[in-house]
Amino acid sequence: MSIELRHFRCFLAIADTLSVTRAAERLHLTQPAVSRTLRQLEQELGVRLVDRSTHHLALTSEGLRFLDQAALAIAAFDRALRLARGAAWPLRLGHAWSAAGPYTPRLLRRWHEEHPDTPLELLRIDDRTAGLARGDVDAALLRGEVRTPGLVTELLLTEERVAGLAADDPLAARPHLSLTDLADRTLALNTVSGTTTLDLWPPHARPASTVTIGNTDDWLAAITGGRAVGVTTTATARMHPLPTMAYVPLTDAPPVPVVLAWRDEPGHPALADLRRLAREVLREGDR
């Protein structure tokens, strides 16, 4: 037996859903067919990709290593088909939250004016690299330190941190706060793509409890619903100015770097133009 694209797509669906049932639904296949395809792939590779020994599926260490390469292969194949059929080659720009902050509309408009023949697709992907490592996008706007191997980054700017509070929270009326002001509260942590961890606080003054969430929408809901407080950047405050939310400057929290990232390999021919334009738009600020 030889490995085919269907084996890759099956594995990626299982890895994304961590469920044979949901993967089968996504692929419009039966569960036995999905299980059989995965088993064929593992036998051909000679490694176990998915751990089925527990109630919930999980990728093995070999599966995690194979995941990004399989995604890149499928992305390259799909892109080649689009180009062969004469379709436009869009430049896909990923982000996990807030994109370019308040400069997002300016970036998109400038690109459309200067590069009308190359569509720029802005995609929110709830992932540490906003889909870049998997090949879902050509470049990504990311916040915080990027440690993923094979990615190149360019610093565009830094954003100050703010506390996110429900509008009726007693702390919301203060002109500024310190991290220790939040130490006795429940903290909402985005463990998928967020930049806030308990390491921001001194060991003796960390928040008493945490609520784990996976995206900005759930982060906002946890705070406005009174379940938690949060720490984010000024970009969130400007992109989500909700009447039920208050954003208060933090005086002792380090700023967050905003970078443009891309893979260290030949990529979309318009990447250099995107880097130049992102540099111009974000660094010129509000001038």
Residues 132 and 216 in one domain: no
CA 136, CA 130: separation in Å to the nearest integer?
Answer: 8
The verdict on 177 and 247 lying in the same domain is yes
Position 80 pLDDT exceeds 80: no
166 lies in the same domain as 244: yes
Looking at residue 163, its pLDDT comes to 98
Total of domains in the chain = 3
Give the CA radius of gyration of the chain. Answer: 21
pTM over 0.85: no
pLDDT band at residue 240, thresholds of 50, 70 and 90?
very high
CATH number at 56 reads: 1.10.10.10
The C-alpha torsion from 203 through 205 and 209 to 212, rounded to 10°, is: -60
Average pLDDT, the chain: 89
How many C-beta atoms lie closer than 10 Å to residue 121's C-beta? 12
- Tell me: do 109 and 147 sit in the same domain: yes
Burial letters 97-107, b for 16+ CB under 10 A, else e: bbbbbbbbeeb
Q: What is the pLDDT of residues 15-73, one digit of tens each?
A: 878 888 888 888 888 999 999 999 999 899 999 999 987 667 888 989 888 887 887 78
**Domain final residue pick, 84, 105, 137:** 84
- Residue 277, amino acid: L
- 119 and 243 assigned to the same domain: no
- Strands of 245-249's sheet in order across: 230-233, 161-166, 245-249
Q: Do 61 and 108 fall into the same domain?
A: no
Which residues span the domain enclosing 265?
Answer: 91-158+257-284
Can you give the CATH number for the domain in which 224 is found? 3.40.190.10
Q: Which residue has the higher pLDDT, 222 or 267?
A: 222
The pLDDT, as a whole number, for residue 58 is 87
123 and 202 housed in the same domain: no
For residue 76, the surrounding DSSP H or E stretch is: helix 61-84
